[in-house]
Chain A
Amino acid sequence: MRTVFLKLGATVLTVATTLLSALYVTSHLKNPAAPLQPAVLTASGASTVSAPGGSLTFGPSVQPSNVQPVTSTYAS
């Protein structure tokens, strides 16, 4: 008889824990439509312009200029 009560208790505890967990997760969703990848491109304040042969994107800490460059980065 004692074994039956122990099994029943364990089963009730397991089911209750599962239900409570499910309820907690469902009620604490930050954003149900969140994409798998964070939208870092739009969040970074970056601006993209077309450049010869590709796309050039500036973050907020780098600004383009009309000044003649003293040197360039290039493949070597």
Chain B
Amino acid sequence: MPRSALVDAHHFEAMGTNCSLFGVGLSRGRLLEGEFWVRRMGARLTRFSPDSELSRFNTSAGRWIDISAELEALLRESLRAFETSAGLVNVAVLPSMAAIGYTRPLAFGQPLATDARVGPLAALPDALSVRPGAARLEPGAGIDLGGIAKGWMADRLLESLGPNALANLGGDLSAGGIGPAGTGWPVGLAGVTVLLRDQGAATSSVRRRQWGEHHHLIDPRTGLPARTGLEEVSVVAASGVEAEVVAKAALLVGRELAPVYCATHALAWWLSP
């Protein structure tokens, strides 16, 4: 059994969820810098604050506006996610979220669904255009970066935390390096410990953030909360953002095809009907 190095851990709440940063040989200051970066990015990328960069982008639909390098990177990642998931992962779900009443954090009260019917979502490349330093949304479109932002941020955190670190932002996590014992970072997945080295993990679920007949996971093929025969999917993939995309796509593709989809896109997976 290899001897374990001491793990430095830092836990905090941000973006409406629990966040944890781990590292071997990390200073307290480096961990705090990570927390501040998460808070800054969370404030810029939330759709619940009208002053956030994402909200300003959403309200500027129909014209090109300048965006930060981080938002540009996330929008490009979203376009890539749309492509690799054959359209199942579509961040242009904001109109559907509004239709089911999910316009504020659930901690502020249960959403009230409207009578609006959004229908199938437009293909993301038709709704969103990105060029260096600027982006444009088609009128009527809106973006909710959701889990993609958390997975992407977990990956970026590893670049600043160092070569042997782990970032977990509300279940979207990214693990870099050999971990405390040299065998990988021990991470819980469906009640089992797996060892991750330069890999990510994520969970997509309809069991949380649900109210009445609704939940937060929109199926872009219908514009409605997904009903696919799967309620929760956890996956390990090459990065945090990739794990998030694969977990969501696997849940949306449904019970029959999810094992095949995961076998071709994930490194480990848990499917719960």
> A residues bordering B, Cβ < 8 Å?
37, 40-41, 44, 46, 49, 51-59, 61-76
Contact = CB atoms under 8 A, between A and B. Distances in A.
B186 A65 contact: yes
Given A41-B260, A71-B168, A65 B7 contact: no
A64 B203 contact: no
B161 interface: no
Contact of B271 (A54, A63, A65, A74): A54
Nearest to A76: B170
A11 to B, nearest CB: 44
Nearest to A73: B201
Contact of A62 (B196, B204, B208, B272): B196
Contacts of B195: 62-63, 65, 67
A72 B267 contact: no
Contacts of B170: 76
Contact of B202 (A37, A71, A73): A73
Size bin of chain B's contact surface = 35 or more
B268 A56 contact: yes
Contact of B190 (A56, A59, A62, A65): A56
B61 interface: no
B27 interface: no
A63 B194 contact: yes
Interface in B226-273: 232, 234, 236, 243, 259-260, 262-264, 266-273
Contact of B22 (A44, A58, A71): A71
Given A65-B186, A65-B194, A41 B271 contact: no
B18 A51 contact: no
The 4 closest A-B CB pairs, nearest first, are A72-B188, A75-B205, A54-B272, A76-B170
A40 B264 contact: yes
Given A57-B259, A67-B181, A75 B207 contact: yes
A41 B263 contact: yes
A59 B20 CA distance: 26
A76 B171 contact: yes
Contact of A57 (B168, B232, B262): B262
B114 interface: no
Nearest to A47: B268
A54 B203 CA distance: 13
B189 interface: yes
A75 B232 contact: yes
Contact of B270 (A37, A41, A54, A70): A54
